[in-house]
Amino acid sequence: MADIQWRTIGASVKGALHHRNGKPNQDAWAHSDSFHCMAVADGHGSAKHQRSDIGARLAAEITVKLLEEFANQPFDIRLIKEVSSYLPGKIVQGWREAVVRDHQKLELSGDPPQNSGEASDTAEQNQAAIYSLYGTTLLAALVTEDYALYLQIGDGNLLVLNDAGKIETPLPQNATFIANETNSLSQANAAHHFEQKVVFFDYQPPPVLISLSTDGYINSYPSPVEFETVIKDIKQLLFKQGGEKVQAMLPDWLDETSQQGSGDDITIALLYCFPDS
Amino acid sequence: MSSLLKRGQILHGSNTQTAYEIETFLGAGTQGEVYQAKTNGQLVALKCYFPQYIKTDPNCQQRLEKAISKGNPDSNFLWPIELVFTDKTPLFGYVMPLRADHYKSIVDLMKRRIDPGFRELITACLGLVESFLHLHAKGFCYRDINFNNIFLNPQTGDILICDNDNVDVNGVSGAINGTPRFMAPELVRGDAAPCTESDLFSVSVLLFYMLMLHHPLEGKKEADIRCFDQAAMNRLYGNEPVFIFDPRDNSNYPVKGLHDNALTYWPLYPQFIRDLFIRAFTTGINDVQHGRVRENEWRNALIRLRDSMVYCACGAENFYDSEQLKEGQQQVCWSCKQPLIYPPRLRIENTIVMLNHDTRLYLHHIDKTRRFEFSQAAAQVTRHPQDPNRWGLQNLSDQSWTITLTDNTVKTVEPQRTVNLNAGIRINFGSVQAEIRV
Ligand SMILES: Nc1ncnc2c1ncn2[C@@H]1O[C@H](COP(=O)(O)OP(=O)(O)OP(=O)(O)O)[C@@H](O)[C@H]1O
Ligand SMILES: [Zn+2]
């Protein structure tokens, strides 16, 4: 499978609602130029999480960096699954450190968070409150010649289109969570709440397309089926018109979708591997 | 996504010629795919190997045949029943009992998708230790003990051990030597072949994992690793393993914020359990032959732990810690931080059993010749029907007990009758003497 060429495209647009209320886009995405990996994050938004736009950006960037390092290791293939189980912990650790650095920077520049007046009892609670300011979800994927690796915490959609044209969801969908609140990179023990999977290509062919999207996208459609159709349509367009063209049009489509649909920020990142004319 | 077998396809058992009809795809691992299959109206699980995998593990079939002919160590193992072959293709695999849906993985425990009480959790640990004792007694070693292969029923603490196709006789190096994180350090270093002793290390890791929801070697040293690679793994689990609660070396102490489960759960358990873990991960790391905690030691300690459970008035489950009391320290509830109030207790020989409102005693407790028998209750704590403040111990066995009151009068407690839980009453169960403490 040496001739397979993976490419990434993606876009993130501010929700129609956020245009009206002046909030920033709280989604972010990142991808690698040297390896086939990408990440999408959806900051929680509300006042409690007022820096979640930064949190989302940091999450996406750090994850892509760690996935690059991971892909760059000469592992014994048998250990991939095992070693990958440390990624959530390392992502959480890296993200928290970046968050604390950002927080200190903002404090120094005299930009404390608004209404964080409630004094916390302990240093730990303080710490947790800082993480929470930056709270975000995270989706990520990495493909190599031998395997695909998928990671997720919190809501959002990770879809895979296989070579038979069928949509698969390699990670368990809507893992139970109490009180309709999403899992978050900022929660205690976050590493335990990641879903992750390694799929080897020894016995099944690699997918043709991997899609990561924030829930603003799927929520713009009446049901998951319509959303899946959109993903298949994008694949067709990529196939017919090529990546550059689709990349150029993607933000407009997402804008339109948000306006007609959820009103939320929408972000999508795609890894695909068929001829890009 | 399944690729090897189709719904409705028939495979034949190599011993019985039984026809197994493929129904649904259950999942794929690195070695093969697992399906639900039907035979004579009965459901089984059928694992079919990827042909490419078999090339990398040529002893697979032989190993399975050995396991099948020796038979399962006990019914907790989803043990291979027989080999199956397809008619025209060279595919093969084996059938095993099907795992029911209410069995959940340890991963579900970590993610808090299930939340069993301490009693069920300890019962699961006990089941695990006993099953590995049975396995080892048959001359097998498991080689790949890790939490993906252990399932538990959170309501009862019953367990199932899956993925038994890597089981082999002692001392044979094979395709699978285990998962580094659960492997004995000498295996991670490549110094030894899997054997009972290396399994014992893995069992201790698993028990620690289940009780503390954390790995015993993942502390500061793990936190200091930026990017996890094979060298880092070899260091943590092979060359420089340090227990996170090593009393003489705090270089690998858990880091707040990263290893909170360990910090939360460790102090909840009584000293005797912590001591056993300390031994397992200090001398047990270096002294492979004599330092490891054996199944029977775990078994006794886990039973004692289960017998130490007390309920705080706030409802939280706590453990009576006699060592702490001896040092004159008052125990406080881990949840509400109020001083613990102990229920009446039974001193049986040199162990203490807490007599909670729901405590049952088993033959294990009252008959020296029937140790480890927990199938039927031999006594239970009951409340007096007229006076809710009076508690008693009801004789559920078929033997009478002889009790001696504090004024030395001797009485007989016939089956079904109850003895009041008053301080100082001595009970003679036959082969075992006990005394009620209040
Ligand atoms: N007896 C069984 N009953 C029900 N499901 C089973 C049974 N055995 C295996 N499975 C399921 O089938 C899937 C594949 O299992 P298998 O043991 O082959 O691989 P694995 O343990 O996931 O991976 P690996 O090959 O890396 O050990 C898993 O989802 C597993 O839970
Ligand atoms: Zn309490």
For residue B1, how far is the Cα from the chain centroid?
32
Which of the four pLDDT bands, split at 50, 70 and 90, describes residue B262? very high
Cβ atoms of B304 and B291 within 8 Å: the answer is no
| pLDDT tens digits, one per residue of B79-88 | 999 999 988 7
Sign (positive/negative) of CA torsion B354, B355, B358, B359? positive
- How far the first Cα of chain B sits from its last, in Å, is 61
Min Cα distance B424 → chain A (Å) is: 47
- Average pLDDT for B104-125: 92
* A127 near B CB under 8 A: yes
Highest mean pLDDT out of A92-101, B135-144, B146-155: A92-101
Task: Find the largest Cα–Cα distance for chain A.
Answer: 60
Cβ atoms of B47 and B30 within 8 Å: the answer is no
pLDDT > 90? residue A180: no
- Average pLDDT for A173-191: 75
Q: Which two tokens stand for residue A138?
A: 């995270």
CA distance B138 to B169: 9
What was the pLDDT predicted at A1? 42
What's phi and psi for B17, nearest 5 deg? 60, 10
Q: Which residue of B has its CA nearest to A86?
A: B228
Which H or E run includes B413? strand B410-413
Mean pLDDT taken over chain A? 89
Cβ atoms of A97 and A58 within 8 Å: the answer is no
Mean pLDDT taken over chain B? 92
B53: three-class secondary structure by DSSP:
helix
Cβ atoms of A91 and A63 within 8 Å: the answer is yes
pLDDT > 70? residue A4: no
Ligand nearest to the CA of residue B53, numbered in listed order? 1
- How far the first Cα of chain A sits from its last, in Å, is 19
* B55 near A CB under 8 A: no
- Average pLDDT for B61-90: 92
Sign (positive/negative) of CA torsion A252, A255, A261, A265? positive
CA distance A245 to B179: 46
What was the pLDDT predicted at B389? 86
Q: How many CB pairs under 8 A join A and B?
A: 62
| B190: number of Cβ within 10 Å | 11
pLDDT > 80? residue B118: yes
What's phi and psi for A92, nearest 5 deg? -60, -45
Which H or E run includes A116? none
- Among protein residues, the one with the nearest Cα to ligand 1's atom 22 is B29
- Average pLDDT for A178-197: 85
Q: What is the value of ipTM here, to two decimals? A: 0.77
- Among protein residues, the one with the nearest Cα to ligand 1's atom 19 is B29
CA distance B229 to A75: 8
pLDDT > 60? residue A103: yes
B159: three-class secondary structure by DSSP:
strand
What was the pLDDT predicted at B176? 52
| pLDDT tens digits, one per residue of A212-244 | 999 999 999 999 999 999 999 999 999 999 999
pLDDT: which is higher, B53 or B290: B290
CA distance B182 to B174: 17
Query: Which residues numbered 363-392 in B keep a CB inside 8 Å of some CB on A?
Result: none
Q: Which two tokens stand for residue A134?
A: 């930056």
CA-closest candidate to residue A150, choices A176, A171, A126: A171
CA distance A229 to A242: 19
Cβ atoms of B109 and B210 within 8 Å: the answer is yes
Asked if the Cβ–Cβ distance from B50 to A66 is below 8 Å, we say no
Q: Which residue of B has its CA nearest to A207?
A: B1
For residue B426, how far is the Cα from the chain centroid?
33
What's phi and psi for A98, nearest 5 deg? -65, -40
Closest partner CB to A69 (pick from B227, B230, B233): B227
What was the pLDDT predicted at A190? 94
pLDDT > 80? residue A3: no
What was the pLDDT predicted at B414? 97
| pLDDT tens digits, one per residue of B318-372 | 999 999 888 888 999 999 999 999 999 999 988 999 999 999 999 999 999 999 9
Q: What is the DSSP letter of A25?
A: P
CA angle A213–A215–A221, rounded 5-degree value: 100
| pLDDT tens digits, one per residue of B276-299 | 999 999 999 999 999 999 999 999
For helices B118-137 and B196-212, the axis angle rounded to 10 degrees is 170
Helices (H), B171-330: 185-188, 196-212, 220-223, 230-234, 260-265, 271-280, 283-286, 295-307, 322-326
B21 exposed, middle or buried (CB, 10 Å; 0-12, 13-18, 19+)?
middle
Which range, of A154-168, A245-259, B138-152, averages the lowest pLDDT?
B138-152
pLDDT > 90? residue B388: no
- Average pLDDT for B377-397: 93
CA-closest candidate to residue A84, choices A6, A9, A5, A146: A146
Q: Which domains, and CATH codes, for chain B? A: 10-96 (3.30.200.20), 104-300 (1.10.510.10), 343-437 (2.60.200)
- Among protein residues, the one with the nearest Cα to ligand 1's atom 21 is B29
What was the pLDDT predicted at A116? 52
Partners of residue B147 in chain A, C-beta under 8 Å: none
What was the pLDDT predicted at A178? 47
pLDDT > 50? residue A2: no
Instruction: Find tokens 């099953």 and name the residue.
Output: B131
- Average pLDDT for B229-244: 92
Min Cα distance B10 → chain A (Å) is: 22
The answer to whether the predicted template modeling score (pTM) of the entire model surpasses 0.90 is no
| B88: number of Cβ within 10 Å | 5
Helices (H), B308-428: 322-326, 363-366
Q: CB under 8 Å to A215, separation ≥6 — which residues?
A: A42, A155, A156, A157, A262, A264
What was the pLDDT predicted at A276? 42
- Average pLDDT for B88-101: 92
Which of the four pLDDT bands, split at 50, 70 and 90, describes residue A209? very high
Q: What percent of chain B has a predicted confidence (pLDDT) above 70?
A: 97
- Average pLDDT for A45-67: 94
Q: What percent of chain A has a predicted confidence (pLDDT) above 90?
A: 69
pLDDT > 70? residue B57: yes
pLDDT > 90? residue B111: no
- Average pLDDT for A41-56: 92
Q: Which two tokens stand for residue B150?
A: 């252990």
Which of the four pLDDT bands, split at 50, 70 and 90, describes residue B203? very high
CA distance A95 to A134: 10
pLDDT: which is higher, A253 or B167: A253
Which of the four pLDDT bands, split at 50, 70 and 90, describes residue A119? low
Asked if the Cβ–Cβ distance from B230 to A73 is below 8 Å, we say yes
Q: Which domains, and CATH codes, for chain A? A: 4-115+123-275 (3.60.40.10)
Which of the four pLDDT bands, split at 50, 70 and 90, describes residue A55? very high
Instruction: Find tokens 């689709």 and name the residue.
Output: A246
> Can you give the three-state secondary structure of B232-255, one letter per residue?
HHHHHHHHCCCCCCCCCCHHHCCC
pLDDT > 60? residue B123: yes
Which of the four pLDDT bands, split at 50, 70 and 90, describes residue A175? low
Q: What percent of chain B has a predicted confidence (pLDDT) above 90?
A: 75
CA-closest candidate to residue A264, choices A10, A18, A76: A18
CA angle A271–A156–A150, rounded 5-degree value: 50
- The 8 Å CB, 24+ separation contacts for B360-367 are B360/B396, B361/B393, B363/B397, B364/B303, B365/B307, B365/B432, B366/B397, B366/B429, B366/B430, B366/B431, B366/B432, B366/B434, B367/B429, B367/B430, B367/B431, B367/B432
Dist. CA B28 → ligand 1 center (Å): 6
